[in-house]
Copies of this chain bind each other. A is one copy, B any other.
Amino acid sequence: MHFTLEHTDPATRARAGRFETAHGTVHTPIFMPVGTVASVKGIHQKELREEIDPDIILGNTYHLFLRPGMEILEAAGGLHAFMGWDRAILTDSGGYQVYSLSANRKIREEGVKFKSHIDGSLHVFTPERVMELQRSIGADIIMAFDECTPYPCDYAYAERSMHMTHRWLDRCIEHLKKAPPKYGYEQSFFPIVQGSVYPDLRRQSAEYIAGADAVGNAIGGLSVGEPAEELYAMADEVCRILPEDKPRYLMGVGTPINILENIALGVDMFDCVMPTRNARNGMLFTSEGTINIKNRKWATDFSPLDPMGLTFADREYSRAYLRHLFAANEYLGKQIATLHNLGFYLWLVREARRRILDGTFGPWKDKMVVQMDKRL
């Protein structure tokens, strides 16, 4: 995998680039819709391709490990074939879900023992095991197994955990040396910077991760409850250290404003459940601000869902209709809102890319972060 840095914005540190995968080119900055259990909730793959058009989506190793399980994914020939998605896929390492979802998790140097949140069955994730799982899934980009520290997290714990994450990284790399990709195409490996909200730890971790000389690098352990200022400060520190010529992936971020601010700091890749999860709760992101479509004020607003008209859902349905679907608890409402939000997120990163390439990103970003902060 080779990353081509196409342009850096003069006013900020925003970058436009691209990299190739066995499943197509990924143009950055990019937002990766989250397809947790081999499905971006409420959206057909066809719609995702034709209406949202992301170069890459994300799958969750923890969820895929539990259902459908590796045996079925391997028999299918990997996740791409299983779910019918022929563009790029990135999988996380499962760590985040183990810490946030599973019960009775025990973190040791060897790995993590945990109980499934579905049936209470006992499992162990080690760095080596998680590399194997991601090989079986067959994602184009696979992530190091790390500990995602909670927020707040005391300094001593954050430091100890960071060092363990670094040792786990070495084990992941060691394991992958002996294990070629399973399906005949390249699976690129990204290590993950940790260090909670402590600038010196973040710098130390970024140096360590940069030293691994991977094809791309990730920033983890953020967007876990810390104030936006701390998120930006950490991304800033880390982006100054991570190599310029590799894509930088900020995991689990975030709001449209978070995304633009982090693009300005030099982040290239994002993923978050926010556009899909909030959609299912009736919250729409737009370029003018957020909409709670359940609000009575939309009951007789027969104008199109979003005048930007990015997806057929924005053009063909009215706000009044969507509000009705939420009031009547009709699942089509969630489908429509999901299409809208993902359409908007992908527009946002594509527009950011266009602005970076033509040198107008800075002022546009400043205008957008004010505008998008409104509630309509």
Contact = CB atoms under 8 A, between A and B. Distances in A.
Interface of A: 37-39, 41-46, 63, 67-68, 72, 75-76, 81-84, 299-300, 302, 312-313, 316-318, 320-321, 324-325, 327-328, 330-332, 334-336
Nearest to A323: B68
Contacts of A313: 44
Interface of chain A: mostly helix, strand, loop or mixed: helix
Contact of A332 (B42, B72, B318, B320): B42
A102 B367 CA distance: 52
Number of this chain's copies in the complex: 2
A312 B302 CA distance: 31
B44 A335 contact: yes
Contacts of A318: 76, 82, 84
B72 A324 contact: yes
B67 A328 contact: yes
A149 to B, nearest CB: 29
A37 B328 contact: yes
B41 A75 contact: no
A325 B39 contact: yes
B38 A68 contact: no
Contacts of A46: 312, 316
Nearest to A75: B300
A70 B81 CA distance: 47
7 contacts: A37-B328, A38-B321, A39-B330, A39-B332, A76-B320, A76-B321, A82-B321
A41 B42 CA distance: 12
Contacts of A317: 84
Contacts of A335: 42, 44, 335
Contacts of A84: 316-318, 321
A81 B303 CA distance: 11
A221 B133 CA distance: 56
A303 to B, nearest CB: 11
A320 B78 CA distance: 13
Given A75-B300, A82-B324, 14 more contacts: A37-B328, A37-B330, A39-B325, A39-B330, A39-B332, A45-B316, A46-B312, A46-B316, A67-B324, A68-B320, A68-B328, A76-B302, A84-B317, A335-B335
Nearest to A38: B324
A319 to B, nearest CB: 11
Given A84-B317, A84-B321, A327 B68 contact: yes
B321 A83 contact: yes
A46 B46 CA distance: 13
A373 B23 CA distance: 43
